[in-house]
Structure 1
Amino acid sequence: MDKLLTCEHCKKSFCSSSNVKRHIRKFHPGIIDPVKVKIQINMARCPLCEHTSSKSQLIDHIESSHNIKIEEETLKFDSFEDFEVWKENIERTTKSSFFKNGGSYFGKNCTTSKFECNRSGMYKSVSKGERHVKHQGSIKINSHCPAGIKLTQKGRECEVQYIKTHVGHENDLGKLFLSKSDRNMIASKLASKVPMDAILDEIRDNLGSGNLERIDLLTRKDLYNIQRAKRLNSTGIRHKSKAISLEAWVNEVKNTGCVLLYKPQSQFLDTYPTLKEEDFMLIIMNEEQYEILKEYSLDCICVDSTHGLNAYGFELHSLLVLNELRESFPCCFCISNRSDEEAMKVFFSVVRDKLDYTIEPRVFMSDMADYYYDAWTAIMEKADSRLYCTWHVDRTWRENLSKISSKETQSIIYKQLRTMMQETNEKIFKRMLESVLTSISNQPETKTFYDYFMKNYSNNTNNWAYCYRVQNGLTTNMHIEQMHRSIKYLFLDGKHTKRLDKAITAITKFCRDKLLEQLLIMNKGRLCSKISSIRTRHKISESLNFEDIVSVGGGWQVVSTSTEYYIHEENNACKCNLMCSNCGICLHRYSCSCLDSTIKWNMCKHIHLLGRYLKTFSADGEHVNTDVLYEPETETKAHVLGESSFATESPLNRICPPSMKDPFIASKKQVHDMLLHTESLLEKCKTVSQLDVIKNALRPIETTLNALECKKECIDPDEEYMLT
């Protein structure tokens, strides 16, 4: 029961003594000293009127003033366990709940505990007004219900004074919590990895078999609450203290060598003096990631960061490579409170020390911040080309176009910029760049945007223009963004966790699954995004005509309605897995001048058209008419096969006796044997749960047969035979 404080002068109630004193100073000045006022504590309010008194006096008040008989019962139990069983049965049958409000009183020879009705008490809102109050409202009735249990323990024996009568509320199931036994039962199933849908189905299948209980109203929210309370989904939490839990994880995996660097806050590392005492850094790379980094690091290196994986503002910096299927794989993670050049130098230095050599990639991709690439070139080797993410470039252009007041001018300049960026011919690109700069420099309203563009993009066109990234096979950092989304929404349930240890557990699980994908690719094969795009573009190419292909010099020309594309053979000895099975050529065989091939590094529809065209030539170079490559089977051949009695005789006719040659009779006997087997299983059942299994299996049979009988007139005879 919540404490209720009253003013002695006017009997007004308050929740704290400071409120009582403030009330006296304001409304009763000079009458009584607020410091010496005697405050009445543990006063109980009647649920039927405004009367307040002690609990014992409240019971007398309800009986005398409201003519309600308060029933009381005295019980004895041999042990506390017997009392708990009785209490749970009482709560289940009366649809009520009793909780212990406060501690127990320890006497010389006994221990006394008091349990009150869960509906008793005052509702105190702690809301900040940001959300609506829940629809069903509070379970508290803002008064005191007389029902309760007083437990006196003397050794193992328990004596109970039980007040049965509830006043001021109905015993609603919706206002009850799940019982302790029900919560433990559900927790055991969740711990056994039973899916939540299966738990809900099992409980709802038994709905209506008896009196409605609280567990029948089980929802998915209840399951999540139990899972959180029992910490069944927190495999990464080793201690309630976040710092101790993280330290325990580092010590646990120290022998595996996956932690390359761990610097907690409030410590200083002599090996890396650029890290301050208040800095935090954790670098993770296991042996499998190390091997993949060594194999693919000379092609493409992607580095980016994400936030929101913890409550400290630490960022996750990821280093990725692309495998032979052009899919991203995370090779190293760095969690740090700093995102600057010095911190990234430490990150790349640790990776270099692990490899024992410096990496010289063909392509280095990151966002438009320079500290990633500056730190990389200071520690590793300079890449052949450094690329900006196209999506980041486009976003910054859109944001800074607001410097232009006219919406129409913004649209025109944006279209010019996008057309210029996607131009694959370097000479044409330079002419377009000069034209665009001249255009925006001559207009007063675009002068601010012109200064911004000249400062950030005019001197580094090789980082963002398509003509400088032909055949690089990497246009955006969507590989990294997809990985960050997977970690957040698959392994963190779409929530921003407040614990760093849980975020690290999610990262390690993500790496485990990516390694499993690699094993599946190596042993079973898998439909990757590149193979899927190859198949899609092959289907698109089937709408194109062979007449559009013209042999030009050492290559081919594909004539389109708007422009012409040129295809050249690049590598005729490649035998990789990125192959079109219909055309018989791989991704590296030909290159096309279209954007899909040069920038996105796909096998475009023009290359598929060429592959289909070349496949129509025979070995001696003569063109073959593909429309008559296959002749349909003649009716004569089918008729000859039909004349053989052995060919038309089904296997059932050869192995079954004459009475079983009818499929319906054979199926009926099979069902009869199954029912006999079910009868033998029924004799072996010893528990109610085992009987429920057979009951649930047999229950829908009769209703299904009745439904088939009702629909018999509407069913086609052939369909009816299949159903039987």
Structure 2
Amino acid sequence: HCGDEHEEDGAEGEPQDYTVFTLTFETKQEFDVWLEERQQQGRTSFFTKYSSGSKKTTQLRCNRAGKYVRKTETRATQTKKDVSHCSCFLNVKVEEDGSVNVRGCLGHVGHKVDVALLRLTLAQQLFLKGLLEEFFQDYIISRLRKDYPGTISRLHFVTKGDLWNIVNRFGLRPGFRHKDDMQSLKARKEEGNPHDGIRSLDMPEDPSGEGFRMIIITPQQVQWLRKFSHRGISTDDTHNATRYNLKLATVMVLNDRDAGLPAAFLLSGTMTSLDVEKLFLEIRKVVPEFNPAQIVTDEAPCFYNGFRSVFPQSRAKLHYCRWHIDKTWQRNVNKMVEPRLRSQVKKKLKELLVIEDLPTFERHFAEILAFLHVEGQDKMDDYLRRNYLGEFNLELTLVYHSEQRTISGRTHTWASFSNKDAVMDTTMISERWHLRLKTEFLHRNANTRADCLVDLLIRAVEDLAESDEIKVCREYFILV
């Protein structure tokens, strides 16, 4: 019937071959190779409708046909089942001598042949497993989109869900060396692989992770520090990257195209000045000439104090991140200023942060303090004077347009007029890196094993280096 009535339009307008064939293969392996090829060439997937206990007899049916049975009531699900019956089938029998007899038809009826709805074949799953052992998921998906046309290959439509299924099916655990992830990290450190860049490791004092400290500077990161750190560095930390109460601090540099690169990692359960000092001691070992023009951080003193303890004579100029300053001011305005004045004060403070002209800055800041005093907002007035003008009103002499002027010893660390020629005035390159790490590499999983995080950090550096090299080559060819 299908051959007589639907040969030209059986699969929603696409011609089909409804020939029922019989084939014999000498071995099961030979049959498996044939089946793999036919599924990819014919854009077909099968599910096992029936299989005998010994698997001598198997009935394979089109994965788009059949009755859908929900397996859960707790979440919304959808099905690829499109029709109750399809003409595409294979009946497989394995004989006593190991040969395989197959009877079947590869023509479809009643539904469109859609590559995106196919199952991943075993060969495709093994191929993806190999990619996952070397690359990150976003890179894999991007590569598959480019290398495999959507008209003929299921690989074009691979999603992160597919990749996580592969991870779970094959038990892929990056960085795994021991069931206890802290012991796993210790084992990795003892391997002494120079490409890992593990410079130091202090094991935790208790199961919470307290006392843990790990410093990573890979050979690629050493190159970035040597090549780019002289322009300036940004240092910031983030939390919720592992199952432990650990913070990850990253020293960021800007390359020639002003793209941020993670040049050193510090994992710590405390993130004190001593922890940061250990980080910069390791940096000094691999880059003795390390001397950035500026260091941009949030207002946490541990980063700058740790840096200065290692490089007391450095020319580096401290600049607090404008974005963090703004957020701190907004929070304190909400706490200390009456509701009727909050929006006005917030606006004035935002304007102050971007003023690059010193006389204008002095005038605007004085107006804000006077306004707060007149309106009786003494808490906010006192807060700004103590924290952003300096408790003892220390004076710093500047040369401005050949005229000596004095400003507070605290003001120059955050005001825009003192940072006009710097390569950065916020830690946003650090913020973007940490966001990318959590979304692209960790997939917002705050329960990640510590050894998995370390493996991802090391591989991320390699991935970024490769991506950066490709961008440089593209720009070169465009110029040529």
Length-normalised TM-score, structure 2? 0.63
Supply the distance in 2 between the matched residues of 1:334 and 1:221 (Cα, whole angstroms): 29
Shift of 1:239: 4.3
Query: What is aligned with 1:646?
Result: none
Q: Deviations over 1:149-175 (max 9, x none)?
A: xxxxxxxxxxxxxxxxxxxxxxxxxxx
Query: What is aligned with 1:246?
Result: 185
Query: What is aligned with 1:392?
Result: 324
Alpha carbons of 1:135 and 1:413: their partners in 2 closer, same or farther (altered >3 Å)?
closer
Q: Deviations over 1:241-268 (max 9, x none)?
A: 423433343344534471111222249x
Q: Does 1:365 align with 2:296?
A: yes
Q: Is the 2:214–2:266 Cα contact (8 Å) retained in structure 1? A: yes
Q: Does 1:346 align with 2:278?
A: yes
Q: Is the 2:52–2:58 Cα contact (8 Å) retained in structure 1? A: no
Supply the distance in 2 between the matched residues of 1:522 and 1:360 (Cα, whole angstroms): 26
Shift of 1:182: 8.4
Alpha carbons of 1:376 and 1:134: their partners in 2 closer, same or farther (altered >3 Å)?
same
Q: Does 1:492 align with 2:442?
A: yes
Supply the distance in 2 between the matched residues of 1:135 and 1:278 (Cα, whole angstroms): 41
Which one of 379, 382, 385 corresponds to residue 451 of structure 1? 382
Supply the distance in 1 between the matched residues of 2:373 and 2:477 (Cα, whole angstroms): 50
Query: What is aligned with 2:233?
Result: 301
Q: Does 1:467 align with 2:417?
A: yes
Supply the distance in 2 between the matched residues of 1:383 and 1:493 (Cα, whole angstroms): 39
Length-normalised TM-score, structure 1? 0.43
Query: What is aligned with 1:190?
Result: 128
Q: Is the 2:210–2:270 Cα contact (8 Å) retained in structure 1? A: no
Q: Deviations over 1:324-380 (max 9, x none)?
A: 3322222111111111112111221222233345x4322110011111111111111
Which one of 495, 505, 510 corresponds to residue 460 of structure 2? 510
User: What secondary structure does 1:476 align onto?
Assistant: coil
Alpha carbons of 1:441 and 1:522: their partners in 2 closer, same or farther (altered >3 Å)?
same
Letter in 1 for 2:462: R
Q: Is the 2:442–2:448 Cα contact (8 Å) retained in structure 1? A: no
Q: Is the 1:200–1:219 Cα contact (8 Å) retained in structure 2? A: no
Query: What is aligned with 2:221?
Result: 289
Shift of 1:479: 1.1
Q: Deviations over 1:149-208 (max 9, x none)?
A: xxxxxxxxxxxxxxxxxxxxxxxxxxxxxxxx9885663353255968879987989xxx
Supply the distance in 2 between the matched residues of 1:380 and 1:516 (Cα, whole angstroms): 32
The structure whose Rg is larger is 1
User: What secondary structure does 2:265 align onto?
Assistant: strand
Letter in 2 for 1:479: I
Shift of 1:92: 11
Supply the distance in 1 between the matched residues of 2:150 and 2:183 (Cα, whole angstroms): 36
Q: Deviations over 1:700-723 (max 9, x none)?
A: xxxxxxxxxxxxxxxxxxxxxxxx
Supply the distance in 1 between the matched residues of 2:159 and 2:472 (Cα, whole angstroms): 39
Structure 1 unmatched runs, 5+: 1-80, 97-117, 126-131, 138-180, 206-217, 268-276, 529-576, 582-724
Shift of 1:312: 0.6
Supply the distance in 2 between the matched residues of 1:297 and 1:221 (Cα, whole angstroms): 35
Alpha carbons of 1:278 and 1:476: their partners in 2 closer, same or farther (altered >3 Å)?
closer
Alpha carbons of 1:296 and 1:134: their partners in 2 closer, same or farther (altered >3 Å)?
closer
Q: Does 1:403 align with 2:344?
A: no
Q: Is the 2:215–2:266 Cα contact (8 Å) retained in structure 1? A: yes
How many residues are paired up?
A: 354
Q: Is the 1:183–1:226 Cα contact (8 Å) retained in structure 2? A: no
Q: Is the 1:191–1:232 Cα contact (8 Å) retained in structure 2? A: no
Supply the distance in 2 between the matched residues of 1:87 and 1:244 (Cα, whole angstroms): 48
Letter in 2 for 1:254: N
State the Cα RMSD in Å. 4.1
Supply the distance in 1 between the matched residues of 2:56 and 2:149 (Cα, whole angstroms): 27
Q: Deviations over 1:84-118 (max 9, x none)?
A: 4158659999x89xxxxxxxxxxxxxxxxxxxxx9
Alpha carbons of 1:481 and 1:397: their partners in 2 closer, same or farther (altered >3 Å)?
same
Shift of 1:291: 2.6
Letter in 2 for 1:386: L
Task: State percent identity of aligned pairs.
Answer: 20
Shift of 1:527: 11
Supply the distance in 2 between the matched residues of 1:256 and 1:510 (Cα, whole angstroms): 13
Shift of 1:134: 3.0
Alpha carbons of 1:246 and 1:435: their partners in 2 closer, same or farther (altered >3 Å)?
same
Supply the distance in 2 between the matched residues of 1:203 and 1:296 (Cα, whole angstroms): 43
Supply the distance in 2 between the matched residues of 1:91 and 1:521 (Cα, whole angstroms): 47
Shift of 1:422: 2.0
Supply the distance in 1 between the matched residues of 2:301 and 2:385 (Cα, whole angstroms): 17
Q: Deviations over 1:557-579 (max 9, x none)?
A: xxxxxxxxxxxxxxxxxxxx9xx
Q: Give the structure, 1 or 2, with the largest relative contact order (CA under 8 Å, sep 6 or more).
A: 2
User: What secondary structure does 2:420 align onto?
Assistant: coil
Which one of 239, 245, 253 corresponds to residue 321 of structure 1? 253
Q: Is the 2:276–2:306 Cα contact (8 Å) retained in structure 1? A: yes
Q: Deviations over 1:297-319 (max 9, x none)?
A: 23202111112221112111111
User: What secondary structure does 2:378 align onto?
Assistant: helix
Q: Is the 2:120–2:154 Cα contact (8 Å) retained in structure 1? A: no
Query: What is aligned with 2:17?
Result: none
Letter in 1 for 2:200: L
